[in-house]
A and B are shown apart, each in its own frame.
Chain A
Amino acid sequence: MNAALASASHNLAQVLDHPGIWRRSADRQPRVRALSTGWTSLDTRLPGGGWPQGAVSEILFEHDGLGELDLVMPALAALTQEHRRVIFVAPPYQPYAPALAAAGVDLRFLHEIHAGSTEAAWSMEQCLRSGCCGAVVGWLPDIDYRSLRRLQLAAESGDACAMIFRSAEHAAQNSPAALRIKVSNSDEATYVDVLKSRGLLTTTAPLLRMRA
């Protein structure tokens, strides 16, 4: 009886050792490898201290022009400065080179893919999976759960950082993304709100005030 119990708990331990299993326990914090966001107050609120690597982060924003792209710029600038590729997939407007350069992006390592919605998801998946891109940033307003899941797997296999910008309307929907962040405006200021974060113990992360 005791032997059977011991072997069962041994098996359970093996199962729990699997990297795909996230355990909510104090002594075995899941290790999340992350890319610093460059915003100190945001880093401290995220597991691993930044944008999760090898995973999808969703950035849900209420309107254009709330500083939603500013949120990812420090990380992208750092990647390009390390000569790692950053790919913009289907941006809604023209990324403005002087502003990107001023934010510290080395333009030689920034590429833009101009594509329709199906081609955009395909391109993003190819880039993520390739293993030669540091971060892939996609504007995919109509992406569905299945495609998000594909991108999540592609990001895992290529160990790339995937960032997807979508409208805040999708906040209530289910999503396989490892991190979901909402950028909204209220009381005259922009707030960054962590909606979901894989590996984070407390789900009620306080708001971060980004700009007045």
Chain B
Amino acid sequence: MLWACLRFPGLAFSAAFAVAPEAGPSALLDTHARQRLIATANDEARAHGIRRGQSVAAARALCPALEVRPRDRDAEKRLLSELAAWCYQFSGHVSLVPPNAILMEVGASLRLFDGWPLLVERVTTGLREQGHPHTLAATPFASASWVFAATADGMVIPAREGVIRMLGALPLTQSGLPGTAVTALHAMGFRRLDDVFRLPRPELTRRIGRAGVNWLDRIRGHASDALPAWQPPASFVQKIEFDAELDGSQPLLFPLRRLTRALANMLAARDGGVQRFTLTLEHARGESTRIGVAMAAPQRDADRLFELARTRLERATLPAPARSIELHADELPVFRPPVRDLFEPIRGDGLDWPTLDERLRARLGDAALRQLTVVNDHRPERASRYGAPTVTVSLPRGRRPLWLLPRPLPMRPEPAAVLAGPERIESGWWDGGDTRRDYYIVKTVHGQHAWAYLPPGTLDGWMLHGWFA
């Protein structure tokens, strides 16, 4: 077993600032405290001297530009499981360690990823691209990995002896022991874990309690960690509520990127794709706008999903400013990466048809792209229809023009000559679309060949219906 632990020190910030990234000095408030106290501050705020536990008033006095937000614990939980979903591609056993850490068993997947250094690189690059600062460490014991992730980023210790030696050198404040236990041990003059490991067990239990001793056992691998495995969900729903109403599609792009990224992570975890999802924007007075995003084939690439959603969002007309955005995907079919023939030369952009189709639909709308099918009907205007083409068709016996006018028009001037005809088309008495016409192929004064008809038995009232283009 090799447990890798990822810690996300900035997770609370990312969760609270989901709508727009924090810019400048910012801090989060602990909402549980009776007084409004600073829970965490970002680097810029810390540079101004803002510390955990300060009151908002004191912090504002130090830095008037400080942006303050309450911690959003629900959003933190969601973000953590979203990250777990992403981690699921590296390991079959991923476990959440709230509030901001994830454990994954990578011993079984090291071979698959060609060893620890390459695995770390993939994890680190992926998280950096998503903008999640993190630290990472791995040992055979989950709790020890959790401890080292905070103090020794990038470290991997494969053997038990090494873990115990490294733990021994750690100051008690970084051991993960409960605060009361650390205080008690400090009072006894202990500074490092080495000193504590040497104490007789009954003595230690009396001083720091069963919980403290149990923790020391777990980090040394004497006791096993019970780690519930995270399970990827069967559908995807995520919503981001805004503090203020956002007007127009431009400010929505940042939260949209977060949502599509989260969806992509979840799909990677399931090894699935998505073919259809819905964006719901809520406005004031309970109105909402629903935007459907459909793809020709299942997708799971984060950038592609974002681009598609963005084009749809930008084309949509929003009746009012938005208060929240939700992404909902129910259908998560199996994803098969497009297969290309090894010997087929790649031309131009090298797109396959589904991708091109998708790109066109995203910009032009679904209705703009269509196919033709032949319908077994004698009435010319019904014999051709937009829809999925069928393979077997029965064709009319007479010659038909390549262009059909959307509706017949009176023909001016009248035909110069009749080249063929008449062909009597009489049909539709059974469904109210009764048609009785004599069709001719005629020639105009300009030499054009046209398809025109007369009501049976008459010689004028020519109607133009098509061109032999």
Contact = CB atoms under 8 A, between A and B. Distances in A.
Interface string B401-432: 11111100000000000000000000000000
A66 B443 CA distance: 10
A96 B377 CA distance: 13
A144 interface: no
Contacts of A85: 353
A93 B372 contact: no
A145 to B, nearest CB: 22
Given A85-B353, A128-B348, A159-B347, A113 B360 contact: yes
Interface string A170-189: 00000000000000011011
13 contacts: A93-B469, A94-B404, A95-B372, A95-B403, A97-B374, A97-B385, A98-B374, A100-B372, A111-B371, A112-B371, A114-B368, A131-B349, A132-B351
Contacts of B385: 97
A103 interface: yes
Nearest to B346: A131
Contact of B348 (A98, A103, A131, A211): A131
A92 B466 CA distance: 12
B363 interface: yes
A94 B384 contact: yes
A103 B402 contact: yes
Contact of B367 (A95, A103, A114, A126): A114
A142 interface: no
B129 interface: no
Given A93-B404, A103-B402, A127-B356, A98 B446 contact: no
Nearest to A71: B469
B58 interface: no
Interface string A83-116: 0010000011111111111110001101111110
A97 B403 contact: no
Contacts, number: 170
A113 B383 contact: no
Contacts of A99: 399-402
Contact of A66 (B383, B391, B469): B469
B373 interface: yes
B45 interface: no
A70 B468 contact: yes
Contacts of B391: 108
A73 B446 contact: no
A7 interface: no
A115 B367 CA distance: 10
Interface string B284-297: 00000000000000
> Size band of the A side of the interface?
35 or more
A65 interface: yes
A158 B402 contact: no
Contacts of B395: 98, 101-102
Contacts of A123: 360, 364
Contacts of A157: 347-349
A9 interface: no
A119 B364 CA distance: 8
Contact of A96 (B353, B403, B446): B403
Nearest to B356: A130
Given A67-B468, A158-B347, A159-B348, A107 B373 contact: yes
B328 interface: no
A173 to B, nearest CB: 22
Which of A96, A122, A123, A189 is most buried by chain B, counting CB atoms within 10 A of its CB? A96
A205 interface: no
A119 B353 CA distance: 19
Interface string A145-159: 000000000100111
A130 B351 contact: yes
B89 interface: no
Nearest to B405: A93
B403 A64 contact: yes
B109 interface: no
A115 B368 contact: yes
B369 A111 contact: yes
Contact of A70 (B351, B353, B469): B469
Interface in A44-96: 62-70, 73, 85, 91-96
A154 B450 CA distance: 35
B314 to A, nearest CB: 15
A62 B353 contact: no
Which of A70, A98, A107, A157 is most buried by chain B, counting CB atoms within 10 A of its CB? A98
B114 interface: no
B389 interface: yes
A95 B402 contact: yes
B435 interface: no
Contacts of A100: 372, 402
B35 interface: no
B18 to A, nearest CB: 34
B173 interface: no
A204 B372 CA distance: 40
B467 interface: yes
B11 to A, nearest CB: 40
B369 A113 contact: yes
B350 interface: yes
Nearest to A68: B469
